[in-house]
A and B are shown apart, each in its own frame.
Chain A
Amino acid sequence: MLDGGSQLTETIYALRISNNKRLQRERIFLYIFVAFLVIAVMFPFIWILILSFKPSEDFFAWPPKVFFSPTFDHYLGLWEGEFPKSFWNSLVTSVGSTVIALLFGVPGAYALSRMAYKTGSRLSLFILASRMAPPIAFTIPYFLAYRYIGLHDTLFGLILIYLTFNLSLVIWLMRSFFDAIPRTLEEAAWIDGATMWQGFTKIILPMSGPGLAATAILCFLYSWNDFFFALILTRTEATTAPVAVVNFLDHEGWQWGKIAAGGTMVMMPVLVFSIAVRKFLISGMSAGAVKG
């Protein structure tokens, strides 16, 4: 065992530093090993995809049916129920919160990037702590306030609470994007007679397009993935898709087909967007602590 591991590690270091032809056999061995690991890691995820197409009558069949004729029944069932509404709610709250967070956060991030170092570092603890605080810390006060001012079970109420993580995420990420753009660019524009606001909107913003897109997608994903806030702050009207899926577990008696299909619907936008911003995901998740 140790010998095998040693052999493998040796191969990895060797492959890291050379493209040697001699190592062709080791390379193939490594590929097979990695392919095996990938399948093992992906299996739980693939299983739920398969289940969502499996006819209900085959779910509990013994011996288990590996081959079955796929059906769209579960998806059609979802379409006829309340699910489309909650899917729409998820979409509205995620997009709404992302837009508001960008509107307030982007100019703020620009200012922080161009201001003195000290101010930025003093704010950083506040921003990081608000990202890392357990959601229940915000949920209790919001729950009480919303009951009082009538925002309970409303889409706007959710949009507002999603700002607790989205705004700090925008400030944190966009600041590091702006840091990468040299100051000489806007200084040149000022000398040519541009105002500071023009320097920001006409020079800097167009240059940070990719950063803006990545940040927007991350905000969208965080809001889309939220379960806890929506569980507590909504009841019937503003229910989001994740909560609706869980309701299939609780109230409607273990409809595995619907659960699998609903789960698949909820994860699809996430998969598409994540692959689009895979480069920024790590720095976004670690709130910029490591620049990848």
Chain B
Amino acid sequence: MATNLMRDPEDLRQKFYWFCLWPAFIVLIVVTLAPTIYLFVISFTPMDLTRPETSWDFSNPLGQYQIILEDKRLHNSWWVQAKLSFWSVLIQMIMGFMFALLLNVKSKVLEALRTVFLIPMVLPPIVVAIIWKVLYTPDISPFHWMAEGLGFVVPSLITDPTWALWAIIIADIWEWFPFVMLMILSALQMMPEEYIEAAKIDGANVWQMTWYVTMPYLKGVLIVAALFRIVDSIKAFPLIYILTDGGPGSLTEVTNYYSFMQAFNFSYLGYSSAITVTLVLATIFASWGIIRLVGWGKPID
């Protein structure tokens, strides 16, 4: 073996690496690529589980995509998704940034506290949803008790048409602002102290320092964190499933949720697949954006 390595090392090495890579690659293809292709195939049929003859009916391959263009409820779901993603990501970015600045102090106490902020984002999403279900249910919610004690009558946010989406947004912010915070914090810790010193010497006040020194330094991290949050917000499911079930009406029905309902409540798997294909394409586009920005395994500078 040793002599082999000496004789033609490079060739042998490449062979060995491919030998290590193949099993993983095959499993990855079987568990992810094959189902995705199958999803595309289903999307060209009007598959309806209650009507077996629709399963392999390719007579009108683009039929489901035509429905997409006409389905008002789907278009509403895009709009709901846009509002949910925009507000929750925007507020998470702002809160994450402020909390990161606050915790970026040389102090053992604050370093220990960072762990506490991990809790919302590592909790099982279903537990997060249950926590907020409790807080939004007037009978047992401490917030409603407090409001009542102060003499206000507050409607249950999750059944109130004006507030339902905001109820989801608030819960989503609570769950995910720590993610943005921790990403920014890890970037801040690598920020050279000379930057701050130099700005101080130049007579910058704190706002100028934040705006002209800290923000440009964090630009890369901020973009990546926002992209990750946007992609994840498209997947929002447990919060909506538990808190509002898409209601009242379809006011909190995001595209992912609508697709779920088409498939597993109405059993229109063909149409649901077509909607999901559009979601997958959006995801691939966003991932491609992230890779262009970050590079493959290279740290951000």
Query: A-side interface residues toward B, CB under 8 Å?
Result: 6, 8-10, 12-13, 15-17, 19, 27, 30-31, 33-34, 37-38, 41-42, 44-45, 47-48, 51, 59-60, 64, 104-105, 107-112, 114-115, 117, 120-121, 124-130, 132-145, 160-161, 163-164, 167-168, 171, 175-176, 179, 190-191, 193, 195-197, 200, 221, 224-225, 227-228, 232, 242, 245-246, 249, 256, 259-260, 263, 266-267, 270-271, 274-275, 278, 281-282, 285-286, 288-292
A17 with B224, Cβ < 8 A, contacts A48-B130, A292-B186 known? no
B264 at the interface (CB under 8 A from A): yes
Q: How many angstroms between the C-alpha atoms of A157 and B295 in the bound complex? A: 34
- B297 near A: Cβ within 8 Å? yes
- A273, closest chain B residue (CB): B122
Our pick among B101, B269, B280 for the contact of A133 (Cβ within 8 Å) is B280
Q: Say yes or no: is B126 at the interface (Cβ < 8 Å to chain A).
A: yes
| Cβ-defined contact, A141 with B237, below 8 A | no
Q: For residue B193, which residues in chain A have a CB less than 8 angstroms away from its CB?
A: 16-17
B1 in contact with A195 (CB, 8 Å) = yes
Known: A37-B99, A41-B174, A144-B269. A132 touches B287 (CB 8 A): yes
Q: Are B28 and A168 in contact (CB under 8 A)?
A: yes
Residue with the highest number of chain B CB atoms closer than 10 Å, among A9, A104, A111: A111
Q: Is the CB of A134 within 8 A of B280?
A: yes
CA A64 to CA B148, docked complex, whole Å: 11
**Interface CB pairs A-B, < 8 A, 22:** A12-B105, A16-B196, A30-B102, A34-B113, A45-B123, A47-B131, A60-B139, A108-B25, A111-B16, A111-B19, A115-B21, A128-B287, A142-B35, A163-B31, A168-B28, A227-B125, A260-B134, A263-B127, A275-B118, A285-B121, A285-B228, A292-B182
- Chain B residues near A168 (CB, 8 Å)? 28, 32
Query: What is the interface size of chain B, counting residues whose CB is below 8 A from a CB of the partner?
Result: 112
CB distance from A158 to the nearest CB of B (A): 12
User: A270 contacts which of B33, B122, B228, B277 (Cβ < 8 Å)?
Assistant: B122
Q: Given A64-B145, A115-B14, A227-B126, is A137 in contact with B31 using a C-beta cutoff of 8 Å? A: no
Expressed in whole angstroms, the Cα–Cα distance for A105 and B32 within the complex equals 14
B290 on interface, CB distance cutoff 8 Å? yes
Interface residues of B in 210-253 (CB under 8 A from A): 210, 221, 224-225, 228, 231-232, 234-235, 237-238, 242
- B150-181: CB near A (< 8 Å → 1, else 0) gives 00000000000000000000000010000100
CA distance A200 to B19 in the complex (A): 13
In the assembly, what is the distance between CA of A137 and CA of B5, in Å? 45
Q: Chain A contacts of B27 at CB under 8 A?
A: 104, 163, 167
9 shortest interchain CB distances as A-B pairs: A108-B24, A292-B186, A141-B35, A111-B20, A107-B20, A111-B17, A121-B296, A141-B38, A274-B122
Q: How far is the CA of A286 from the CA of B287 in the complex (A)?
A: 11
User: Cβ of B273 < 8 Å from any Cβ of A?
Assistant: yes
Given A136-B272, A275-B115, A289-B290: A111 in contact with B21 (beta carbons within 8 A): yes
Interface segment among B57-65, B66-74, B84-92, B255-263: the answer is B255-263
